[in-house]
Every structure is written in structure tokens, then in C-alpha cells.
Chains A and B, each alone.
Chain A
Amino acid sequence: MRGTKRIDLRFALLLGLAAMLLAVVALAPQLCPHDPNAQVFEVLQPPSWAHWCGTDRYGRDLFSRVLVGMQTSVCSTLALVVLITIFGTAVGVACGYWGGVVDGVCMAICDVCLAFPPLVLALALAALFQGGLAQAVAALAVVSWPKYARLTRSQTLAVKEADFIQAAKLAGNTGPQLLVRHILPHVLGPIVVTATLDVGTMMMELAGLSFLGLGAQPPTAELGSMMSAGRSMLQTHPWVIFAPGGAMFVAVSIFHLLGDGVRDHLDPRRNIYKR
């Protein structure tokens, strides 16, 4: 009993931490001490009381830019994860439940996507879509949805013939009702775990594309592109890189911790083994 209680406390703490991060992200424009795009005369100032993280090469306040950049990064990452989760789950459930030709075609497409090394394909797709944050998100989405589709499909297949589904069928539920009310809730657990575990990774991959100039374009503040812009100033003005880098690390850590927490919470079997 004590064990579960402690896990609950830790999970609550994690949820609080994640909520704080999301609050900072949501309120970023309000929290900025300066206008993130306004330029002051003193370029490349070291961190000071006026500018907590210094200023960049155009004299913009870095702290404000990091806040706004975090908003861009986190929001686009969350959009990406929600997109692939919904799409992948829908495809997976449909394939698993109905099978047949649709299943064959979808799984073949999955196999094609999985035949490529993910980051290489994402890189090529982002190049093909020709830069821009939405395009980078789309590129990563194409690369990552098959994992979700496969996971959901196998879960659906496992649960499809279960007695309670047969009972629900006998009770007069139609196909879609069966899917949404009875199969989906059963399948959702592992999907939610995978999705939360993926948020941090996706954030890093998206920032990686931005770092290569395939994501957010210059005037927009985004953590990856900010670090990329600071590259040439590593020797003289390292804070231009390490301010967004630190923010990125904190955000990714929180998402990773949350992912682990959600997994432990939703998958009690692991805890029994752990004790």
C-alpha cells in the first residue's frame, strides 16, 4: 500500500511540474519582460538584471525570445504528437477491426515508412516540403504515425475476439459503437503511454530539423533555430546558444519524466515487478 501511495505522490508532483511548464508556455507572451522581436541598441550583451539571458546579435532580449521560442516548440510538438496519435490510432483500430484489403494496404504503407531510417526520411521530406515549421511537423508526422498504427492494430486484434466484445455485439451494438465504446478504451492505455513518452523525443527531433534550417523561419523564435543562429558565436557569446539549449533541456526532461510517470501509473504490472 505504501508503495502505491508514494508513486501517486510522485506522479502528482510530475503532473504539477508539467502543468507549470504548460502554463509558462501558454502565458509566454504575457511573461516576457521585453518584446521578443524588439531590438535594443546593445547587441550581444551578457546576461544582466535588465536582460536575464543577455541579448542576441540583433539586440533582442534573449529571455523573452526563449519564452516565446519555447511556446513555438512545445505547441508544435504537442500538435505533432496529437496528430500522429489520433491518425495512427484511427488507422490501427480500423485495420485491426475490419481487416481485409484496407488492412493490407495500410500495413503495406506502414512497412514502406518503416523501411527508411526515420530521421533520414524526415530530413528528406522536410526538404521536399521546402522549409517551414508546419512542413517540418508534417514530415515528422509521416515518419512516426506507423508505430502508433501498428501498436493499435495489434491491441485491437488481441481484444477483438474477447468475450466482452462478443457480449457487446449480442447486446445490439453496431460496428462503430463497438469500436468507440468498447475497443477504443481498451486500446488507449498503451497508446497514451507511447504518446507521452514520445513528446520529449519529438520535441528534440523537431528542434533538430529547425536547427538545420528546415523548421521555423528566421523572424519566428524557436529553440532549434535560435541555437542554430547562435552557432557562429559559440566562442565569444555562448549564452546565445545555451539559453535556448537550457530551456530545451528542461522542457524535454519534464516531458520524459511525465512519460515515465504515466507509464508507471497506467501500467501497474511494472510496479509489481519493481517491488
Chain B
Amino acid sequence: MRGYVCGRLARLIPILLVITFVCFGLMRLAGSDAVEQRMENTGTVLAPEVVERAKEELGLDKPFLTQYGVWLWGLLHGDMGTSYVSGREVLPTFLEKLPATLGLTAVSLFLTVLISIPLGVVAAVRQNRWTDYLLRGMSFVGNSLPNFLVALLLLYFFAVRWKVFPVMSRDAGLGGVVLPSLTLAIAMSAKYLRQVRAAVLEELSQDYVVGAAARGVPFGVTLVRSVLRGALVPLVTLLALSVGSLLGGTAIVESIFLWDGVGKLAVDAIQMRDYPVILAYVMWMSILYVVVNLVADLCCRAFNPRIRLGGERP
């Protein structure tokens, strides 16, 4: 197991290099006119020399690979450049907002698990009865609603009509987290409920379920002790994979609820074409994504002796 973990960690390095390289390349492709962009924002026309000097200042006149090298070196020392718009350092700004996003993601994940696992199990156990149809219908509706529409619906009913929660989540404390995380959780649960149902059904069709019933083990005990444990492995993997869509989804939801996290930071930066900030966002989100997937993979192995033992055979 240890050898495997080390191998996976070693393979992480080229992936991270590729991610940083692609991010950097993409942003430089667009970043060449960042100077003109900034000049445009001030509303004045400037002499070419001034533009040249500004480019030199930002290091935009050097060859591409040199720029990448310099940038990567700076990155390793925690320097991600300064924002074109606010002039502040990118990394501290970003790290300052990251906890808010991670918190939102964590609460959403928690809510998703809380909603979809019990409902998915119920749907599987009551397969093809009306409970199952109802839950599948709900999951279908949740799947067909874009998350920004869910956000607006929740806002309309809970904040405007019934005034249960505040409209702006930023300065609302604990109550503010409910609507944004619920928005993300609804979209995720809709997908995840189906997967839970499928995984539990798969497990329920195993022979040991009949065997246990024949030996007089109550169904509830089999369900909790064996079926759920068996279904856990695919579910953990799927949940981790859905973190990817969650990370992307936070951007829209954060900007709707004015949740002060990195998603909103990125959306604002996109509007201002503040490339260093966009770059930081894409890069860190991708790194998080890769790491989460790795952890999911390792968890999957740790839980499942079949994979674990099968993998280590010489």
C-alpha cells in the first residue's frame, strides 16, 4: 500500500506541472493585451512608449518559456503576482477567500450525503413502488434545473416571500450559509441519489442477501451491516468525483448569493479581465480537484480489499 501511495504521489508532480503550464499558457495568450485593457479602463489614450514600459514592468516582453520559468519559480515561493485591478498581491487575497469556498463546499457535501444516502437507500429498497417513483421524479426534476435557477427559486421563496433567510449571505453569519449550500446540495443530491440507488440495488441483488434472509437475519441488519458497507466503495468514489462539478458550480452560486469566496472573486476578475486572479483560481481549483481525486482513489483502495490485494500482486 505504501509503495502504491508513493507511486501515486510521484505521478502527481508531472500532472501539477502540466496544469501550471497550461494555466500559464492560456492566460498569457490572452494576457498580452492586459496592458491595453488596463489603459482602456482608465479611459485615456497613451503613447506607445508608456505601453511598452508597462509591459516591461509586468514582464510581458520576455520570451514565453522564460516567463513561465520566472512565474513558476515565484509560484514556489508563494508569489502569484499582483492583481491588475486592485494592485494587491494575488495569493494573500486568494487564500483569504479560500476558507469561505471550502466551507461552502464542505457544508454542501455534508447536506448532499445527508439528503441523498437515506433517500437513495429508501428508493432502492422500495424499488418500483410509489416511493421509488416519487424519489426518482424528484431526482429528475433536480437534474433538470440549472443551479442558478435553483438559487433564484430558493432566494425568491425563502428570502423574498417567506423571509426565512437573508438575501445576501455575506453578512448574515450562520443563516447565510443555508441557501447557497442548499442550492449546491440540491443539484448534487439529484445526481447522487440515482447513484446511491443503483449501488444499493446492485448490492441487494447479491446472493448473500438471500443467504442472510434464509438464516433469519433481519433485513434491516443485513442492510446496514452488509449492503451499505458493500455499496460504500463506489459511493465514496462517485462523491469525490462530484466534488469537481461542485468546485465549478460554486462560482455561479457564490456570485448570486454574494458569498465572499474564490468563486465570486474569479467571476469578478473575469469581468475585469484580471488575469493573475483568474489564473490563481483555475490553478488552485485544478490542484484541489486532482488532490481530491487522488484521496478518493486511495480511500477506495483502503476500503476495498479486492483492489488493495489485487493491485499489490507482483
Contacts and interface: CB of A to CB of B under 8 A. Distances in A.
Contacts of B147: 204, 208
B113 to A, nearest CB: 20
Given A211-B148, A212-B270, A249-B145, A117 B285 contact: yes
Contacts of B282: 116, 120-121, 123-124
A158 B155 CA distance: 50
A119 B249 contact: yes
Nearest to B23: A124
A96 interface: no
A117 B148 contact: no
Interface stretch (A43-51, A81-89, A187-195, A227-235): A227-235
Contact of B19 (A116, A130, A253): A116
A86 B145 CA distance: 27
Contacts, number: 120
B290 A256 contact: no
Nearest to B146: A204
A200 B144 contact: yes
Contacts of A249: 144-145, 149
Nearest to B251: A123
B160 A235 contact: yes
Nearest to A207: B146
B289 A127 contact: no
Summarize A's interface: helix, strand, loop or mixed: helix
A149 to B, nearest CB: 18
Interface in A195-233: 200, 204, 207-208, 211-214, 224, 227-228, 231
Interface in B154-176: 155-156, 160, 167
A114 to B, nearest CB: 10
A228 B141 CA distance: 21
22 contacts: A112-B18, A115-B15, A115-B18, A116-B19, A117-B286, A119-B247, A120-B289, A121-B286, A123-B248, A123-B270, A130-B273, A208-B146, A211-B146, A211-B148, A212-B270, A213-B271, A238-B160, A242-B156, A245-B153, A248-B146, A249-B149, A253-B140
Interface of A: 112, 115-125, 127-128, 130, 200, 204, 207-208, 211-214, 224, 227-228, 231, 234-235, 238, 241-242, 245, 248-249, 252-253, 256
Interface of B: 15, 18-19, 22-23, 26-27, 29-30, 140-141, 143-149, 152-153, 155-156, 160, 167, 244-245, 247-249, 251-252, 255-256, 266-267, 270-271, 273, 278, 281-282, 285-286, 289-290
Given A124-B282, A224-B148, A231-B256, 12 more contacts: A115-B18, A117-B285, A119-B245, A128-B29, A200-B144, A211-B252, A214-B270, A234-B155, A238-B160, A245-B149, A245-B153, A253-B141
